[in-house]
């Protein structure tokens, strides 16, 4: 793996998949920027803990991924802190579940902004530096919902399909540079984002928790197992390794067979 000494910015990384990716890259010797919209002592303490656990340099930089200027400022501040940004993992994301006729417009706007437009702004801000440095990796955490759809998730599915499309465009625009851009498409990973969907889904389908997990969440995941945050981190590390130098503009599904159905 070749992430040692590289600077990695992971958006939305004080929880769930983002934190799992950060832990994996820090273990492999990357300098890591953790991010979320909050600026609590515990966010900075998390960076301290990750540094102590791994020996990596870790900073927490607050930036709200629903705001374009803050997305861009995150890249600038990370480059100021560590000299440059080599690896950008666009991971921040939220979810809301409702039928289209009831879907709140402000939830639509927030999901499109955080799950899709943030990746446009951070990538736009990072790509010139990557060109100058002569190496860069952009990994977008999309979803199986970037390739397929489910009812009640109009904004999320639209945003994730958008991220997959944008990843292809960035890959083409950087194809002759030593930069790659790919999207990882996880199926269900048990994180706070998924936990938060369980009560609404229980109400929607009138089911208990176990039935929602097996028959709704994992209904389309043939392995009947959640993917783990460590596995997603490992896939990011692979996409940053020399073995993946010619992998660009594509998707890597980590979905227990969901998209093979």
Catalytic residues: 156
Q: Which is nearer to ligand NAD, 39 or 177 (CB)?
A: 39
Q: Which is nearer to ligand NAD, 114 or 235 (CB)?
A: 114
3-state secondary structure of 98: coil
CA 223 to each of CA 183, 211, 218, 259: distance values in angstroms, whole numbers, following the listed order: 21, 16, 8, 12
How far is Cα 18 from Cα 36, in angstroms, rounded to an integer? 10
Give 229's contacts (C-beta < 8 A, 6+ positions apart). Answer: 16, 17, 19, 20, 21, 23, 189, 191
3-state secondary structure of 168: helix
Segment contacting ligand NAD by CB under 6 A, of 12-20, 53-61, 164-172, 207-215: 12-20
Q: How far is the CB of 251 from ligand NAD (least distance, A)?
A: 12
Q: Which is nearer to ligand NAD, 129 or 186 (CB)?
A: 186
Name beta bridge partners: 184. Answer: 141, 252
How far is Cα 103 from Cα 228, in angstroms, rounded to an integer? 30
Q: Which of 2, 14, 123, 167 lies at the binding interface for ligand NAD (CB under 6 A)? A: 14
Q: How many CB atoms lie within 10 A of CB 189?
A: 21
Q: Which is nearer to ligand NAD, 93 or 256 (CB)?
A: 93
- The secondary structure of 188-243 as a DSSP string is -B-SHHHHHHHHHHHHHHT--HHHIIIIIGGGG-TT-S-B-HHHHHHHHHHHTSGG
Segment contacting ligand NAD by CB under 6 A, of 1-9, 60-68, 98-106, 168-176: 60-68
Q: Does 182 bind ligand NAD (CB under 6 A)?
A: no
Segment contacting ligand NAD by CB under 6 A, of 21-29, 49-57, 79-87, 181-189: 181-189
**Residue 134 contacts residue 178 (beta carbons within 8 Å):** yes
How far is Cα 192 from Cα 196, in angstroms, rounded to an integer? 6
The mark string for 31-50 relative to ligand NAD (x by CB under 6 A, - otherwise) is -----xx-------------
The mark string for 185-204 relative to ligand NAD (x by CB under 6 A, - otherwise) is -x-xx-xxxx----------
Segment contacting ligand NAD by CB under 6 A, of 14-22, 49-57, 174-182, 236-244: 14-22
The mark string for 90-119 relative to ligand NAD (x by CB under 6 A, - otherwise) is -xxxx-------------------xx----
Q: Does 167 bind ligand NAD (CB under 6 A)?
A: no
Residue numbers of the site for ligand NAD (CB under 6 A)? 12-18, 36-37, 64-66, 91-94, 114-115, 141, 143, 186, 188-189, 191-194
């Amino acid at each position: 793996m070749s992430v040692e000494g590289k600077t990695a910015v992971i958006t939305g990384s004080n929880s769930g998949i983002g934190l799992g990716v950060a832990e994996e890259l820090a273990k492999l010797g990357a300098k890591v920027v953790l991010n979320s919209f909050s600026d609590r002592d515990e966010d900075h303490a998390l960076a301290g803990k990750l540094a102590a656990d791994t020996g990596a340099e870790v900073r927490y930089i607050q930036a709200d991924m629903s705001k374009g200027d803050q997305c861009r400022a995150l890249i600038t501040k990370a480059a100021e802190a560590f000299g440059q940004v080599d690896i950008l993992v666009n991971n921040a994301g939220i979810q809301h579940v409702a039928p289209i006729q009831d879907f709140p417009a402000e939830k639509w706007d927030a999901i499109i902004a955080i799950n899709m437009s943030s990746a446009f702004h951070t990538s736009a801000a990072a790509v010139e530096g990557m060109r100058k440095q002569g190496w860069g990796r952009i990994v977008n955490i999309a979803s199986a919902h970037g390739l397929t759809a489910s009812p009640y998730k109009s904004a999320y599915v639209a945003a994730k399909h958008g991220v997959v499309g944008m990843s292809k465009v960035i890959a083409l625009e950087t194809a002759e540079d030593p930069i790659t851009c790919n999207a990882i498409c996880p199926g269900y990973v048990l994180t706070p984002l998924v936990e938060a969907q369980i009560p609404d889904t229980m109400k929607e389908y009138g089911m208990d928790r176990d039935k929602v997990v097996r028959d709704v969440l994992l209904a389309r995941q043939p392995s009947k197992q959640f993917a783990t945050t460590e596995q997603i981190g490992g896939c990011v590390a692979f996409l940053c390794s020399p073995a993946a130098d010619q992998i660009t503009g594509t998707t890597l599904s980590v979905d227990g067979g969901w998209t093979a159905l």
